[in-house]
């Protein structure tokens, strides 16, 4: 997500939207409590820009991880459920607040696999943004507002997503593009396959009458999309992307995990990471043309492809492992690009914002439970205090030991969901030091 720095005039409205989204983020307990582990989703959805609505069907492929499972619970945001089926037969279901409880009709044994198909429709208030005047539609963060799923970061799954969009639009989506098939009703079915399991909050797409510029860096195809910019301008806006990819890959010790990376300049959203692409506001893109050094937000979103997307917080209590990391890594990129003073400025800005919150008695431990209703202060804790604490750890360990620890942490947990204990353990194994008092002071205590 965006660091929500007040860099643009949109920052406050964006912040509000993000707070709403985060407030609505369901956090179901772990797979054992859920009774299922979702392996993959196969979904077809139809967004309607004019009515700001969406309808869809999703096959939820899951493995049973409990004995004699008779019900499953899925997140549905505010979607209306039309029909739930297994093997073609209708299943009984009931609606809970933001959730759907399905009666399986008979006990399902442990380790069996099954597919439940859910048909739904709704008018997402958030999670999907409609800009009919610009012919743009895109998703943002709160996936269960447009796709019935397990909306929790620890249940990583594959996705086969088909989105029916008006003809003539370009779109970015998760993983690899499979096909673009005209539907005969003025729509084109864009189909993507995300074959590496990722967290559902990273699912999404962005579509509009975009201009496209293609590039390549090593093994990675690059694509830049924007409306209202020329291809030449897109090239200038995103000219640091290849350098960023190299920098983060070397800091992570892991190559960029997908074949392609797309950056889309959308109508309003300030910044949002997704699987294999990111969205930035076109206002930010315009600002970059005048101020090419303002790459922090772009770097933040790209850093998420490793810290947040590849290595993901297990639940929202450990959200700083996504957001504190991305904020810190953006500062580290600025250090490499513009020199140590640029890094110090970013860290000092983070420290000051954290200090303001601390003086207002808004400080919290970095690991905290109640992310269900986060305040602006909570966000500062997760983003800015998180980045500042990583800087302090870097100071304590020295560059060689610190970055070796980051590489150990990232390579050991690539593709997985993690807790703060995993991070501490990696840093301790790498440094051969006990970091208990550091973590106690800066991470677990306010």
Q: Which residue(s) pair with 84 in the sheet?
A: 118
257 vs 324, which CB is nearer to Zn ion?
324
Q: Which is nearer to Zn ion, 146 or 320 (CB)?
A: 320
What is the 8-class DSSP label of residue 110? T
Count of other CB atoms within 10 angstroms of residue 370: 11
Q: By C-beta, is 46 or 300 nearer to Zn ion? A: 300
**In 3D, which of 141, 93, 157, 142 has the Cα closest to residue 120?**
93
Which of 1, 5, 332, 427 is the binder for Zn ion (CB under 5 A)?
Answer: 1
**C-alpha to C-alpha distance for 305 and 249, rounded to whole angstroms:** 10
The smaller minimum CB distance to Zn ion, of residues 76 and 385, is found at 385
- Dihedral angle of Cα 437, 439, 442, 446, to the nearest 10 degrees: -90
Site track for Zn ion across 97-126, x = CB under 5 A = ------------------------------
Contact 117, 85 (CB under 8 A): yes
Q: Is the distance from CB of 397 to CB of 427 less than 8 angstroms?
A: yes
Region of residue 360 (left: phi > 0; alpha: psi -120 to 50; beta: else): alpha
Determine the residue with CB nearest Zn ion.
1
Applying CB under 5 A, the span of 119-127, 253-261, 325-333, 409-417 interacting with Zn ion comes to: 325-333
# residues near Zn ion by CB under 5 A: 3
Provide the minimum distance between the beta carbon of 237 and Zn ion in the complex, in angstroms, as a whole number: 19
Question: How distant, in Å, are the alpha carbons of 50, 167, 426 from that of 275?
Answer: 27, 24, 25
Q: How far is the CB of 379 from Zn ion (least distance, A)?
A: 10
Specify the residue, 275 or 431, whose C-beta has the smaller distance to Zn ion.
Answer: 275
Task: Give 56 or 374: the residue with its C-beta nearer to Zn ion.
Answer: 374
Sheet hosting strand 187-198, strand order edge to edge: 89-90, 80-86, 113-122, 53-64, 36-48, 157-166, 187-198, 176-182
User: By C-beta, is 165 or 302 nearer to Zn ion?
Assistant: 302
Nearest to Zn ion of 130, 316 (CB atom): 316
Minimum Å gap between C-beta 293 and Zn ion is 20
* Cα(426)–Cα(440) distance, integer angstroms: 16
| Minimum distance from residue 4 beta carbon to Zn ion (Å) | 9
Name the minimum Å distance from CB 69 to Zn ion: 35
Q: Does 43 contact Zn ion by CB under 5 A? A: no
Stretch that binds Zn ion, among 1-9, 17-25, 68-76, 203-211 (CB under 5 A): 1-9
The distance of closest approach from Cβ of residue 273 to Zn ion in the complex, given in angstroms and rounded to an integer, is: 6
Q: Calculate the CA dihedral of residues 418, 77, 298, 155 and round it to 10 degrees.
A: 20
| Side-chain half-sphere exposure of 149, counting CA atoms within 13 A | 31
Q: Where are the beta strands (DSSP E) in 353-437?
A: 417-418
Candidates 49, 326, 347, 381; binder of Zn ion (CB under 5 A) is 326
Q: How far is the CB of 296 from Zn ion (least distance, A)?
A: 11
Site string for Zn ion, 283-322 (x = CB under 5 A): ----------------------------------------
Contact residues: Zn ion, CB under 5 A: 1, 323, 326
């Amino acid at each position: 997500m965006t660091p929500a720095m007040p860099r643009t005039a949109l920052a406050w409205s964006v912040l509000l939207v993000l707070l709403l989204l985060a407030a609505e983020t369901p956090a179901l307990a772990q797979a054992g409590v859920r009774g299922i582990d979702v392996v993959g989703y196969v979904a077809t959805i139809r967004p309607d820009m004019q009515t700001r609505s969406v309808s869809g069907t999703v096959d939820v492929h899951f493995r049973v991880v409990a004995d004699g499972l008779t019900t499953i619970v899925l997140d549905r945001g505010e979607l209306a459920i039309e029909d739930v089926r297994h093997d073609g037969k209708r299943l009984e279901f009931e609606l809970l607040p933001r959730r759907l409880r399905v009666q399986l009709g008979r006990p399902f044994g442990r380790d069996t696999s099954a597919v439940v198909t859910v048909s739904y429709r709704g008018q997402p208030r958030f999670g999907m943004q409609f800009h009919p005047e610009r012919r743009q539609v895109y998703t943002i963060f709160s996936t269960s507002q447009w796709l019935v799923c397990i909306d929790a970061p620890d249940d990583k799954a594959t996705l086969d997503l088909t989105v029916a969009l008006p003809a003539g639009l370009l779109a970015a989506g998760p993983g690899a593009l499979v096909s673009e098939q005209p539907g005969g009703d003025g729509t084109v079915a864009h189909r993507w396959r995300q074959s590496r399991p990722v967290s559902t909050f990273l699912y999404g797409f962005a579509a509009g009458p975009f201009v496209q510029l293609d590039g390549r860096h090593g093994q990675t195809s690059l694509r830049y999309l924007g409306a209202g910019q020329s291809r030449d301008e897109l090239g200038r806006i995103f000219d640091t992307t290849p350098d960023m990819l190299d920098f983060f890959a070397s800091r992570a010790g892991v190559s960029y995990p997908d074949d392609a990376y797309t950056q889309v300049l959308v109508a309003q959203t300030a910044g949002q990471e997704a699987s294999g692409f990111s969205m930035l506001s076109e206002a930010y893109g315009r600002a970059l043309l005048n101020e090419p050094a303002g790459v922090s937000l772009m770097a933040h979103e790209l850093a998420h492809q490793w810290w947040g997307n590849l290595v993901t917080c297990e639940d929202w209590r450990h959200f700083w492992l996504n957001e504190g990391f991305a904020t810190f890594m953006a500062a580290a990129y600025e250090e490499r690009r513009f020199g140590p003073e640029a890094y110090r400025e970013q860290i000092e800005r983070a420290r000051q914002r954290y200090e303001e919150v601390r003086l207002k008695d808004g400080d919290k431990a970095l690991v905290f439970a109640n992310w269900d209703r986060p305040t602006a202060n909570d966000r500062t804790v997760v983003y800015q205090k998180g980045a500042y604490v990583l800087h302090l750890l870097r100071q304590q360990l020295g560059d060689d030991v610190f970055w070796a620890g980051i590489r150990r942490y990232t390579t050991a947990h690539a593709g997985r969901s993690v807790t703060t204990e995993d991070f501490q353990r990696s840093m301790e194994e790498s440094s051969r030091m006990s970091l208990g008092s550091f973590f106690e002071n800066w991470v677990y205590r306010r």
